[in-house]
Structure 1
Amino acid sequence: MELKNATALVTGANRGLGRHLASQLLARGATVYAAARRPETIDLDGAVPLRLDVTDPESVREAARIAADTTVLINNAGLSTGTSLFTGDVEDLRAEMETNFYGPLALTRAFAPVIGDNGGGAVLNVLSVLSWAHPAPLGSYAATKAAAWALTDASREELAPRGITVTALHVGYMDTDMAAHVPADRKSDPAEVAALALDGVAAGLPEVLADDLTRQVRRSLARTPDAA
Structure 2
Amino acid sequence: MELTSAVAVVTGANRGFGRHLAAQLLERGAKVYAAARDADSVDLPGAVPLQLDVTDPESVARAAKTAADATLLINNAGVTAAAGLLEGDLAGIRRDMEVNYFGTLAVTRAFAPVVEANGGGAVLNVLSILSWLHPAAAGSYSASKAAAWALTNATREELAPRGVTVTGLHVAYMDTDMAAEVPADRKTDPAAVARLALDAVARGDAEILGDELTRSVGLKQVSMG
| TM > 0.5 fold call | yes
Which residue number in structure 2 is paired with residue 3 of structure 1? 3
Q: How does 1:123-134 map onto structure 2 within 5 Å?
A: 123-134=123-134
Q: How does 1:77-226 map onto structure 2 within 5 Å?
A: 77-221=77-221
Which residue number in structure 1 is paired with residue 72 of structure 2? 72
Q: In structure 2, how many angstroms separate the alpha carbons of the residues matched to 1:81 and 1:141?
A: 7
Shift of 1:221: 3.6
The alignment covers a number of residue pairs equal to: 222
Q: Is the 8 A contact 1:133 1:217 kept in 2?
A: no
Shift of 1:220: 4.7
Change (3 A) 1:32 1:221: closer
Shift of 1:187: 0.2
Q: What code does the residue aligned with 2:71 have?
A: T
Structure 1 SS opposite 2:3: coil
Q: What code does the residue aligned with 1:180 have?
A: A
Q: What code does the residue aligned with 2:150 have?
A: A
Which ranges of structure 1 fall in alignment gaps of 5 or more residues?
A: 223-228
Q: In structure 2, how many angstroms separate the alpha carbons of the residues matched to 1:80 and 1:92?
A: 8
Residues 86-144 of structure 1 deviation map (CA, whole Å, 9 limit, x = unaligned): 11121111100000000110011000000000000000000000001100100110000
Shift of 1:210: 0.8
Which residue number in structure 2 is paired with residue 225 of structure 1? none
Q: Is the 8 A contact 1:170 1:214 kept in 2?
A: yes
CA root-mean-square deviation: 0.9
Q: In structure 1, how many angstroms separate the alpha carbons of the residues matched to 2:97 and 2:109?
A: 17
Which residue number in structure 2 is paired with residue 38 of structure 1? 38
Structure 1 SS opposite 2:5: coil
Which residue number in structure 2 is paired with residue 28 of structure 1? 28
Structure 2 SS opposite 1:78: coil
Q: What code does the residue aligned with 2:15 have?
A: R
Q: In structure 1, how many angstroms separate the alpha carbons of the residues matched to 2:182 and 2:87?
A: 23
Q: What code does the residue aligned with 2:194 have?
A: A
Q: In structure 2, how many angstroms separate the alpha carbons of the residues matched to 1:191 and 1:206?
A: 20
Which residue number in structure 2 is paired with residue 12 of structure 1? 12
| TM-score for the superposition, normalised by structure 1 | 0.96
Which ranges of structure 2 fall in alignment gaps of 5 or more residues?
A: none
Q: What code does the residue aligned with 2:175 have?
A: D
Q: In structure 1, how many angstroms separate the alpha carbons of the residues matched to 2:219 and 2:2?
A: 30
Q: How does 1:42-57 map onto structure 2 within 5 Å?
A: 42-57=42-57
| TM-score for the superposition, normalised by structure 2 | 0.97
Structure 2 SS opposite 1:106: helix
Residues 58-95 of structure 1 deviation map (CA, whole Å, 9 limit, x = unaligned): 00000000000000000000001112211112111110
Q: Is the 8 A contact 1:101 1:148 kept in 2?
A: yes
Residues 176-218 of structure 1 deviation map (CA, whole Å, 9 limit, x = unaligned): 0000000000000000000000001000000110111111121
Shift of 1:219: 3.0
